[in-house]
Amino acid sequence: MSSVEFPNNLEASAVPEVVPSPQEESSFGDVLRQFEAEHQSAEGADAALEGVVVSVSDEAIVVNIGRKMEGILKPDTPGLPSDLAPGVTVMVNISGRTDDGYYQLSTIHVKQPKDFTGLQSAFDGKHAIMGVVTEQVKGGLRIQVADGVHAFLPASRSGVREVADLAKLIGQQIECRITKLDVTDEERPDVVVDRRSILEEQAAAAKQAALETLQEGATVQGRVRSITDFGAFVEIAHGIDGLLHVTDMSWQRVDKPSSVLTPGQSIQVKILKLNRETRKISLGMKQLTADPWTEASANLKAGDRVQGKVVRLADFGAFVEIAPGVDGLIHLSEMSWTKRVRKASDVLQLGEEVEAVVLEVKAGDKRISLGLKQALGNPWDAVETKFAPGTVIEAPVTNLAQFGAFVDLGGGIEGMIHVGDITREKRIQHPKDVLSSGQIVKAQVVEVDKEKRRIRLSMKQLEPTTADLFIAEHAVGDFLTGRVVEVHGSNAKIEISEGVHARCKTKEEAPAAQSASASSADVDDLAAMLASRWKGGSSSSSSGAKDGLRPGQIRRFRISAIDTEHRRIDVELAD
């Protein structure tokens, strides 16, 4: 198109205006509108373009976007792929122009339509879905459950016991169940998932499967999970615990389970009882070894002597371990021959080593009766020899009662001095009037009753009597005067001194006619006896010398025999 020149003296307004034709106007308008639309579309901030990287440098990244001019990306532009190199395709949009006329580019994320159909179906049917843990957030984890869709997994429903372990799930694919689904805001849907219920269901299924494989009587390997005062819980399969009661840990008595087992310890146990409905399992350790009672019942019999250690004291006796896992009972009544034992601790102590005698074995009841006193021997077996009547003892007083005093004779044997056998000097009301506990006394054995286990002693037996004094002052052949006390057949009892009597053989009675003269002689003899104080003196009249003895007579006698030990005196008529 040639240019138009105007004369210098002609005003521009006078130049005729060039007006395009209607057809040209229409074509231009279309072109203009098309250009503006294309330009608007090409340079719009929201337009998505596919570009190919031309070159990469530290200053800029040149991208071919299909336009006359290339586009420029800054190297620090976020969202660039890690494998950026010439030929790599990137999604960009035009954000402006550079001073050099290049298009200024930025990366974009291409929006994809979201499809919640699968999530809705899983939510409605309570089905499990798979998700990938992308990051840990406040209160739980962020899970990608679909393209562009993330869900929230609360920490309490993650199946992880410790919060510190949540981070270990990042990057892992997990199975979960949708508990909340709100897609009202498609861009930011509200999705909450639960993993714990899935794990619990899986554990229950695995536990049931493992339970079906267990059988009573089977021996299994287990791990001690926890210990209580009454036993230990042992995991014998995936999620399956059994109770190992303290009484089934050992044949020996176990006071504390913690003294035998520790948490985490691996042990072998036997399934004693199995209830599949209640899922209760009883376990045993001692059942894996031989029952010591079997051997004990086969080898022990009544009368055997055994050694053992006192392992437990009870109100009724003491338990003695005579073999590992085998205890025998010493009853209180079998602890002493000589005294009544009220408490086992009065005789035995825990841990004490003792010797005992087997009294009875009940294999079916697993009971062994033992006797302590039988091992020591019965001191009453020799009491009749050791403490024969007449034996004199010296021993301490152990106890005082209203009726007498008890004296310790040694070996657990006691003798008793009756209150009437304490002294001849006076009548006493209570032994404490004369004796005291611990006092050493001298007494004589009067009576021994082995069956009733009773020994009677007397202190007064050792006190000198009037007979002792009389015997000490007289001898065989001495003459004396005495009074006839009583006559029995051929024997007469003669009182020869106050409290002293003798025995005399009698003669045939004289005729009754002589009784008068005898009476007269009796009076004379009585006077003579009193004058001599029962120690000899004038004899009776010779007229009665041959008369028989009658009660009340005073006659002259001669000592014919003296038994000092038994305090017995024999006399005969002297005229």
CA 420 to chain CA centroid, nearest Å: 57
Per DSSP, helices labelled H in 261-344 are 292-299
Query: What pLDDT does 132 receive?
Result: 92
Query: What pLDDT does 111 receive?
Result: 52
CATH number belonging to the domain at 214-288, selected among 3.40.50.150, 2.40.50.140, 1.10.760.10, 3.40.30.120: 2.40.50.140
Q: What are phi and psi of 503, to 5 degrees?
A: -110, 140
User: Which residue is it, tokens 């590992």?
Assistant: 324
Query: What pLDDT does 39 receive?
Result: 47
Classified by CATH at the fold level, domain 467-573 comes out as OB fold (Dihydrolipoamide Acetyltransferase, E2P) (2.40.50)
Query: What pLDDT does 14 receive?
Result: 36
Domain ranges across the chain? 23-107, 117-201, 214-288, 292-376, 379-462, 467-573
Show the tokens assigned to 395: 């021993």
Query: What pLDDT does 346 receive?
Result: 87
CA 429, 435, 441, 446: dihedral to nearest 10 degrees?
20
CATH code: domain 23-107 is 2.40.50.140
Query: What pLDDT does 109 receive?
Result: 54
Query: What pLDDT does 266 receive?
Result: 92
Do the domains at 292-376 and 467-573 have one common CATH topology? Answer: yes
Q: Quick check: 118 and 108 in contact, CB under 8 A? A: no
Query: What pLDDT does 509 receive?
Result: 45
CATH code: domain 292-376 is 2.40.50.140
Cα-atom radius of gyration of the chain, to the nearest Å?
A: 64
Show the tokens assigned to 495: 């009182």
Query: What pLDDT does 508 receive?
Result: 52
Per DSSP, helices labelled H in 84-161 are 117-125
Q: Quick check: 549 and 487 in contact, CB under 8 A? A: yes
Distance CA 147, CA 114 (A): 8
Positions of the chain with pLDDT under 70: 1-47, 108-114, 507-547
CATH code: domain 379-462 is 2.40.50.140
Show the tokens assigned to 220: 């299994």
Provide the phi-psi class of 364: left if phi over 0, else alpha when psi is between -120 and 50, else beta: alpha
Statement: 117-201 belongs to CATH 1.10.287.1400: no
From the list 178, 174, 176, 177, the residue with the least C-alpha distance to 189 is 178
- Euclidean distance between the first and final Cα of the chain, in Å? 213
